[in-house]
Amino acid sequence: MLSFGVTVLPDPPYQRLVELMQLAEQHGFEYGWTYDSHVLWQESIPLLALAAAGTEKLNLGQMVTNPGTRDPTVLASAYATLQDISKGRMVMGIGRGDSARRYIGQKPVKVAEFERRIAMIKDFMNGREVHWNEKDLQLKWVRDELPEIPMHVAGYGPKALAVAGRVGDGVIIQLADPAIIQWIMATARKAAEEAGRDPDALQCVVSAPSHISDDIQDAREQTKWFPAMVSNHVVDLVERYGTDSEIPKELTDYVAARKFYDYNDHSRVGAQHGEFVTDEIADRFSVLGTVDQVKAKLKELESIGVDQFNIYLMTHGQEQILQAYGDDIIPEFAGVTT
């Protein structure tokens, strides 16, 4: 059954993030996420602590953190601490690093090192002993009665997706195109199976903007920043694998028209770097339109095995979007008669 999450930017004032997460919880959302890009926005770890204190049921985490900007031992300890504060409601989303690293002049963490680090983090934050930097380490204060902190791994390319399959509890997919989602999950699940893991246990978490409006053109214009954001990762894939690879052309072809990207407008409505995005790409990558159109797209995502749909809440009318989902969409997917 499809569950629902929301991602709120850690923009000042910090009270706004808590307010929107509380509202999401009231409207039946199960997950509250935020970005981890400590220069572009406020530092998100303390904001998650405030969100944990201000909510009761919402599962909380970063969409996504990385093990490069953050030392793995510090990141694991932060999540273990937040797990204590939240009484067991944390979930980690982690990737190789985009804006958090590129904006300060660093590249995404190399894939092999990424796998080594996140495998350690997964054990360490959940109280298990690890061997790290030639030392045996353990967070001995982790409470045994708390549930395991799940780790969902973000990726697009075959190598990163193989890491998700070998290490992660789920895959974070930052787009809502069914054909691409199916390829991504098949790639990750193949790696899970080859590693002796249950491929069907791998969760599918889809993250994308969703703007509900009768004015489809306005909805597209408000969300064209999103395929432009995704293009940062796709450009890297094209450079590594070329234009003729196993990666679906539905994912790679559109970046040929990209001209530039300005991280100062990262995830902002109206960002000029989104001008190359066509209406067709906007429709495929996001979940846009009337309530009925949004329901139809979400039912399609559910039918291909998506476990969670997470709204990137970076458009206008944020309260109205949360209310529309709470009133008209989430109850239907929960099997509740409205």
By the 8 A CB rule, do 108 and 97 touch? yes
**Parallel/antiparallel/unpaired status of strands 135-137 and 130-132:** antiparallel
Phi, psi angles (nearest 5°) of residue 310: -115, 120
Name every residue whose Cβ is closer than 8 Å to that of residue 275 and which is 6 or more positions away in sequence. Answer: 224, 259
Specify the pLDDT at position 335: 61
Residue pLDDT, tens place only, 23-56 = 999 999 999 999 999 999 999 999 999 999 999 9
Name every residue whose Cβ is closer than 8 Å to that of residue 318 and which is 6 or more positions away in sequence. Answer: 20
Specify the pLDDT at position 206: 98
Specify the pLDDT at position 334: 80
Specify the pLDDT at position 338: 37
Report the b/e string of 307-334 with b at 16+ CB within 10 A.
Answer: bbbbbbbbbeebeebbebbbeebbeebe
Cα–Cα distance, 167 to 185 (Å, whole number): 14
Assigned token pair, 272 = 């000029």
Tell me which residues of the chain have a pLDDT lower than 50: 336-338
Phi, psi angles (nearest 5°) of residue 176: -120, 35
